[in-house]
Amino acid sequence: MRLWPSPPDVQIDVADMMRCAVGIEERESVNAHRSVARLSRGELLPGWYEDWVLFERERLQQLRLAALESLAGAEIDHGNHAVALAAALEAIAIEPLRESAHAMAIRAHLLAGNRSAALREYQSYRRRLRQLLAIDPSQEMNDLLVPRLPRQPTPHIDLDSTAPRRARPR
């Protein structure tokens, strides 16, 4: 008597997600678009709070994040900036304060020639860090943008869009 369905009869999304993540980490040939879609499939047993579920959920989340960032880096190296950006943005959706994911998104924007989008991504991340943790992005994150910002004729670019603007005296 069999209690479990055989693998051809049932597809288990978590197992599929894990195979995809391991394949990316082991640098197997993968379909990048399909991999992003597989790694975007929500969390394990939402609404369950048993200890074993919390542990497995966190383990799976870390595996997904590592795979998405790995995929983003590989796609940047191959010049596939749109796929790299999709992978980075999915990692950001999973973990909004993860600096390495934001850095991947910024790199993808910059390499695609979208400086304004890269700057918006940076400003959004910086604002979120300041609001939630009262810290600034790392120097490495700042260094992603500084060499690419225009030097002339703009004398000053305010990276801090969160600073209050003062009214001019009349």
pLDDT at residue 87, as a whole number: 96
Among residues 133, 61, 130, 72, the alpha carbon closest in space to that of 100 is found at: 72
pLDDT at residue 155, as a whole number: 41
Rounded to two decimals, the pTM is: 0.75
Helices (H), the chain: 13-25, 32-39, 51-77, 81-94, 99-111, 115-133, 139-145
pLDDT at residue 163, as a whole number: 54
pLDDT at residue 11, as a whole number: 59
pLDDT at residue 55, as a whole number: 93
The segments of the chain whose pLDDT lies below 70 read 1-12, 26, 29, 147-170
Q: How far apart are the first and last CA of the chain?
A: 87
pLDDT at residue 112, as a whole number: 96
